[in-house]
Amino acid sequence: MMKPAIRLRAIEPEDLDLLYEIENNQELWNVGATNVPYSRYTLHDYIATSSDDIFADRQVRLIIETEKGESVGICDLVNFDPRHQRAEAGIVVMKRYRRRGFAEAALQQMADYALRVVHLHQLYALVAVDNEAALNLFRKAGFAHESVLQQWLYDGHQYANVMLMQRFL
């Protein structure tokens, strides 16, 4: 399958509804560090005050947009460490847009940005070992399995292991 044409762009005020939908999707809470809902006010404030500068904010969040201008998800670099030239990669594609190649194309563009603009040496991702779709996505995007972190994520009932995956740029 040919990768779709996408672009990564900064978050705009018009993206508030998309950000609200993603951040408040409880299905995603168990795969990341967030486990509380965000208000529209808090997200509006985030959009308004973010500098979109990874060096200032230690993270950057980008909207994944199709060539038709549809916003299909968000990808980000977080836990940016300029000293060691690495950052954690994260991505969410809205359910209705999944399995069309948007995530793989976005991860590739994000890796290119990380190398050419931010001058990172590596990206890493922490993926639940039972999240086959995400594991396959990161493998396709050039990430390799490095180790399993035991009992890394807690959903309020049980712990889950995660796979540490790395891609050297």
Rounded Cα–Cα distance for residues 147 and 164 (Å): 5
Rounded Cα–Cα distance for residues 102 and 73 (Å): 9
The per-residue pLDDT for 23 is 85
The per-residue pLDDT for 73 is 97
Positive/negative CA dihedral, 155, 159, 160, 166: positive
Strand 71-81 versus strand 86-93 pairing type? antiparallel
Task: Output the average pLDDT for the chain.
Answer: 91
The per-residue pLDDT for 107 is 96
pLDDT band (50, 70, 90) for residue 156: confident
Lowest-confidence pick of 1-5, 26-30, 135-139: 26-30
Report pLDDT digits (tens) over 140-152. 999 999 899 999 9
Report pLDDT digits (tens) over 93-118. 999 999 999 999 999 999 999 999 99
